[in-house]
Chain A
Amino acid sequence: KQEVTQIPAALSVPEGENLVLNCSFTDSAIYNLQWFRQDPGKGLTSLLLIQSSQREQTSGRLNASLDKSSGRSTLYIAASQPGDSATYLCAVKRSQFYFGTGTSLTVIP
């Protein structure tokens, strides 16, 4: 069974800092990987989708990379802002979607 791990579980950084969130998965036979943002008590908002044939995707200050062979993905956030504070989840898709437990990010003004 696919297992998805996100480290660290929590991260606190000062405003303006660049940061990297990590996601690893045990089975490299995936169709795609998706990064989400979740605000407290709310649903998930899709940030970036990387197809299995792609190496990275960018949207604004966000850049996600995928190394399928090593079972790893990173989400890079540039020039962090307090509004980036949220939990970030990654999910991989094969027969179904498998989610990590997320990284809770706090950006301190």
Chain B
Amino acid sequence: ETGVTQTPRHLVMGMTNKKSLKCEQHLGHNAMYWYKQSAKKPLELMFVYNFKEQTENNSVPSRFSPECPNSSHLFLHLHTLQPEDSALYLCASSQDHTSGAIEQFFGPGTRLTVL
């Protein structure tokens, strides 16, 4: 595997379900990100982890819970979601997030549908 991978690619869940999204990067980076992409809206940054420490949490509802066990893996745990949470969830990675100019690399995304 190369680059940034995400699983599953598609997920349909009910509002009472619990599920997790997984992201893995094979680029030796130290920062990982979760974004939400909804139709007609800019990408919304949800969480940033830098050297396994969470550095950004952009007022994301508690029904989304991130986990970063090491610099290569990132999870997004989902529970009691709402239909408006349906979107494409993108994972990205980069070198140290606090460095000035850095390049982000994205995974293919997980298309989430909440019924």
A→B interface (CB under 8 Å): 4, 31-32, 34, 36, 41-46, 49, 51-52, 89, 91, 93, 96-101
Contacts and interface: CB of A to CB of B under 8 A. Distances in A.
Contact of A43 (B45, B48, B103, B106): B106
B102 A44 contact: no
B60 interface: no
Give the dominant DSSP class at A's interface. Answer: strand
Interface of B: 4, 6, 33, 40-43, 45, 48, 56, 88, 90, 92, 100-109, 111
B102 A45 contact: no
A43 B90 contact: yes
A10 B107 CA distance: 24
Contact of B42 (A36, A46, A51, A100): A100
A101 B42 contact: yes
A53 to B, nearest CB: 9
A34 B103 contact: yes
A55 to B, nearest CB: 14
Most chain A beta-carbon neighbours within 10 Å: one of B4, B56, B104, B107 = B104
A67 B14 CA distance: 47
Contacts of A49: 101, 103
B97 to A, nearest CB: 8
Contacts of B105: 46
Nearest to A36: B106
B101 A97 contact: no
A11 B45 CA distance: 27
A29 to B, nearest CB: 11
